[in-house]
Amino acid sequence: MVTCPKGHKMVIRNGRYGKFYGCSNYPGCKETKPLSSKSSKKKKSSTTKSKKEFSNKICAECGAKKIRVYDRGDSICDSCKTRFKKVDTELLMESKPLEIKSVVIDEPSGLGPGSNGSEEFDLIKPLLTYYEMCSRGTRRVGGLRNVFENVTKGKDVIDEVPINAFIEMENNIIERESDTLVALFRESQLDPETNPIQFGALWVVGKEIIEKNDSSQTKRICAPLLIYDLEIDYLGGNTINVNFNELLPSLNYPLVEYLADIKGVSDGGVAFAFENLLNLLPEIPFELENLNEFLKTLNSFLPSDKIEITPFDEYQDYIFDNPFESELQVVNTFAIFNGADMSPLTVVKEIEALQEVDSFEDTALLNALLPIETSGNELYEFDKYEGNTTDLEEEFTHDFEFLPLSQTQREIIQSTR
């Protein structure tokens, strides 16, 4: 009689691989033996798995490096006895993951680094002046002088907005039924970042003939002095909602500089003139008085011999069929057009805003130029790897620099650390 190691009688059973001896006490006992003359020899149970040595993998439950992998691919942790299937075993890590240590920083006291009167405050003030000078050139990047320039022939460029539609709009939204505007919207969707739909006011149109030696050169101008960013909602058919999310416009710097011909004006004079113009940018809804005050300031600080700038008594519905027939003139009209990316102006505006603050404590600028461990009330995270508790690197979530730094700027920042 064949018996199992536990003393139970074994009987012949049929399995997927043929006949074999199985314990009569199954399922209480799962011992088996092959049906052969050698079955009486002492052998390991067929259910026993041969084990390999410890692997380099880390247990996902207890973190111990005591994972044994079976020949079939599954595994067990000798420390916490957690079993892993083959697919889970393959996903186990061979090194410990990054540990995150969070530190909550106290509220600014008004006396810490960057506060008024501190060394950091005295250092940042001159740096701001430097940054303002370096970024002044970006004013010439955002904006345009001719909306028809580099446009494929036959494509729509401008959609005239009737004066009443703009003056009488509600909730800063104009509903337009215009095939031209739908075409502009479709074109802008191909590259909305660099080819946005914008709203223009106080348009400068016409041509300037420049005599040089025995030849002449004609410059064509068609662009607004004031540019407003828009959000467009397509309603279907030829109907579109035009939303004014920003009530204050951007100044079209390239056009202003062209009209004023500031080549002989000092940087300080240009900055002073622009500062006064920015303070008088007309807010939506328009009033003629505000528009005329802006034009008066423009003519006072940056006078032009190319164009006559005079106050307006009323708005004008202007058709842009051929805006280059006459000499340069300012038209008090409104139009929507495929414009230019104005994002470079963000740096200038942010720097000018920082120049007005009383304290740089807890500002992104302070953290960008002089990273310090204790600054502000944000929740900072320190990266720490296993076995390296001294190399802590602060993680900043802000992004002050919108434009790439020049080599000179990098050197100045590096010298202040």
Mind listing the pLDDT tens digit for each residue in 87-142? 888 888 887 766 666 666 666 667 777 788 888 887 777 777 656 655 554 444 46
Write down the pLDDT at residue 175.
92
Same domain, 335 and 244: yes
Asked if pLDDT for residue 155 goes beyond 70, the answer is yes
Write down the pLDDT at residue 252.
87
Same domain, 317 and 399: no
pTM for the structure as a whole = 0.52
Burial 45-64 (b: 16+ CB within 10 A, else e): eeeeeeeeeeeebbbeeeee
DSSP category for residue 385: E
Its sign, for the CA torsion 294, 295, 298, 299, is: negative
Task: Identify whether 285 is preceded by a cis peptide bond (ω within 30 of 0).
Answer: yes
Same domain, 106 and 82: no
Stretch 179-189: mean pLDDT: 88
Q: Which domain holds residue 63?
A: 49-97
Same domain, 54 and 10: no
Strand 250-251 and strand 10-15: the pairing is unpaired
Task: State the average pLDDT for the chain.
Answer: 76
Tally of structural domains, the chain: 4
Element (H, E) at 350: helix 345-354
Same domain, 117 and 262: no
Stretch 61-77: mean pLDDT: 86
Same domain, 273 and 207: yes
Same domain, 253 and 318: yes
Same domain, 286 and 306: yes
Over pLDDT 90: what percentage of the chain? Answer: 16
| End-of-domain residue from the set 310, 343, 376 | 343
| End-of-domain residue from the set 343, 365, 393 | 343
Asked if pLDDT for residue 242 goes beyond 90, the answer is yes
Write down the pLDDT at residue 404.
47
Write down the pLDDT at residue 410.
55
Neighbour order of strands in the sheet with 18-23:
10-15, 18-23, 32-34
Asked if pLDDT for residue 247 goes beyond 90, the answer is no
CA distance 192 to 212: 39
Between 253-260 and 267-279, two packed helices, what is the crossing angle to 10 degrees? 120
Same domain, 153 and 233: yes
Of the pLDDT bands very low, low, confident and very high (cuts 50, 70, 90), residue 161 is very high
